């Protein structure tokens, strides 16, 4: 692999950037691998990378039905943070955030990871109580959090509507200064390139059509490029987990729902932090290109259509303008939708399945992007050692039967009430 550097970029400038080699190979699948990962999104590619890098498992294939990072990896609002309420989520997401912090250097790929702060807004006294409780819980577990008063929030984000008749009154906020954003495409490409350099076969346009099971053990997969044998098979296809798990006769605690995101035309820098409101469920940030990135509620009914509903566009735009009135003159450039794996407690599922040698990583709801490196790290550990990493031990599929659910929103077993 030829390393990327500022000097290399400069040198390339004198030769019209024509000498760069391709970032990863396009291999044909071999007949057998140690580990076959189904799904070439950020999580699958990160899993392959850490399998090769941390565990020395190099006979690994990542099978992607279309192009890598073309699914949910490229459809999220790119926010990275670890400010969750429950200790299991905190431990896992903090592990992930720590990996993010050194990832651009480790992968030799500019992920444009920007720790610009992730600010949760409080709109009432009870919101502030909730944020103070969350902040205490984060600080207790060694995660950064700072409770902010109304004036501090106004100074940090001067464009927020602080007027007496604001649609969403702002009482204060809780910021995670180490939170921020990353360029989502670069995450997939960076992991693919680094994994490829370690010998992993990243195979695109290769859809898995069946999982071969002999005597209760998964032994391989059927694909559009032929049969591939494997010692271990790792499902990593959040959005379509039920479809792939059904190939092995499994039913999951997952429903697939739609989540939309939107970007505006690019403008000069105007918002330099990530603004979030849980009370009205709105996310606002500005990309490095200058686009304002917006997200909101999912569409609240099961669907695989990848088409969002217009009423949600109206709702999110209304919320964003209510918070930052200056956005009202912006034209929206694109809106799109992704299929989210809504699990029944709002937490991911990472671990073994009832079928021997078949593993599952899914159920990410609408919060998988921030977990990309952590997810790959613990999934690789699980696949290489056959036992979960301490950080993903609570996230097993068996927790639903045992009652040890991890219900961040405390909303019970209905995926649309997350």
Partner 1 sequence: MFLIACPHCGPRSQAEFVYERAEEAVAYPDATPEATLTALYSRANPRDFAWELWRHAYGCRGWIRMRRHRTTHEIAEIEALGATL
- Residues at the contact surface with partner 1, assessed by CB under 8 A: 242-243, 246, 251-256, 300-305, 309-311, 344, 400-401, 413-414, 416
CB of 304 to partner 1, least distance (A): 5
CB of 244 to partner 1, least distance (A): 11
Helix (H/G/I), strand (E/B), else coil: 46: helix
Longest CA–CA span in the chain (Å) reads 69
Alpha helices for 300-350 (secondary structure H) = 310-323
The dihedral through the CA atoms of 316, 317, 322, 326 has a sign that is: positive
Q: Which is nearer to partner 1, 10 or 311 (CB)?
A: 311
The 8-class DSSP code of residue 163 comes to S
Q: Which is nearer to partner 1, 153 or 339 (CB)?
A: 339
Residue 212 has phi, psi (to 5 degrees) of -85, 125
Quick one: tokens of 418? 């997350």
Quick one: tokens of 255? 């429903």
CB of 280 to partner 1, least distance (A): 18
The closest of 180, 179, 183, 189 to 46, measured between CA atoms, is 189
CB of 235 to partner 1, least distance (A): 14
CB of 108 to partner 1, least distance (A): 39
Q: Which is nearer to partner 1, 222 or 416 (CB)?
A: 416
Contact 174, 145 (CB under 8 A): yes
CB of 302 to partner 1, least distance (A): 5
Q: Which is nearer to partner 1, 88 or 96 (CB)?
A: 88
CB of 37 to partner 1, least distance (A): 22
* CA–CA dist 75, 377 (Å, integer): 22
Q: Which is nearer to partner 1, 105 or 243 (CB)?
A: 243
Q: Which is nearer to partner 1, 66 or 243 (CB)?
A: 243
Quick one: tokens of 57? 């498992």
Tell me how far the alpha carbon of residue 318 is from its chain's centroid: 26
CB of 246 to partner 1, least distance (A): 8
Residue 391: how many CA atoms within 13 Å on its side-chain side? 19
Q: Which residue reads 């910021």 in tokens?
A: 175
Q: Which is nearer to partner 1, 386 or 413 (CB)?
A: 413
* CA–CA dist 151, 154 (Å, integer): 5
* CA–CA dist 112, 326 (Å, integer): 26
Q: Which is nearer to partner 1, 137 or 303 (CB)?
A: 303
């Amino acid at each position: 692999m030829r390393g990327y550097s500022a000097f290399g970029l400069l040198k390339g400038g004198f030769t019209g950037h024509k000498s760069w080699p391709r970032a990863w190979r396009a291999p044909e699948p071999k007949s057998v691998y140690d580990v076959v990962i189904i799904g070439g999104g950020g999580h699958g590619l990160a899993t392959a990378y850490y399998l090769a890098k941390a565990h020395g498992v190099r006979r690994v294939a990542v099978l992607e039905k279309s192009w890598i990072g073309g699914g949910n990896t490229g459809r999220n609002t790119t926010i990275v943070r670890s400010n969750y309420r429950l200790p299991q989520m905190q431990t896992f997401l903090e592990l992930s955030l720590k990996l993010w912090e050194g990832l651009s250097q480790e992968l030799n790929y500019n992920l444009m990871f920007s720790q610009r702060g992730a600010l949760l807004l409080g709109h009432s006294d009870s919101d502030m109580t909730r944020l103070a409780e969350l902040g205490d819980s984060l600080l207790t577990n060694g995660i950064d959090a700072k409770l902010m008063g109304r004036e501090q929030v106004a100074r940090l984000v001067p464009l927020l509507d602080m007027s007496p008749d604001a649609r969403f009154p702002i009482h204060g906020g809780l910021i995670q200064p180490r939170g921020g954003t990353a360029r989502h495409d670069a995450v997939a490409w960076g992991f693919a390139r680094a994994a490829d350099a370690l010998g992993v076969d990243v195979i695109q346009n290769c859809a898995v059509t069946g999982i071969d099971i002999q005597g209760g053990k998964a032994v391989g997969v059927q694909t559009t490029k032929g049969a591939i044998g494997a010692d271990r098979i790792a499902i990593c296809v959040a959005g379509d987990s039920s479809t792939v798990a059904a190939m092995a006769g499994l039913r999951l605690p997952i429903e697939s729902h739609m989540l939309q995101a939107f970007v505006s035309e690019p403008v000069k820098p105007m918002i330099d932090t990530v603004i979030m409101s849980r009370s009205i469920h709105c996310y606002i940030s500005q990309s490095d290109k200058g686009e304002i990135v917006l997200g909101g509620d999912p569409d609240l009914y099961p669907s695989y259509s990848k088409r969002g509903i217009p009423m949600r566009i109206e709702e999110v735009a209304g919320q964003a303008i209510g918070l930052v009135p200056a956005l009202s003159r912006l034209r929206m450039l694109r809106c799109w939708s992704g299929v989210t794996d809504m699990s029944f407690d709002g937490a991911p599922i990472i671990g073994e399945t009832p079928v021997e040698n078949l593993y599952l990583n899914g159920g990410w709801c609408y919060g998988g992007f921030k977990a990309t490196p952590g997810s790959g790290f613990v999934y690789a550990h699980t696949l290489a050692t056959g036992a979960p990493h301490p950080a993903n031990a609570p996230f097993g599929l068996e927790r639903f039967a045992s009652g040890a659910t991890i219900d961040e929103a405390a909303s019970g077993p209905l995926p649309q009430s997350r």
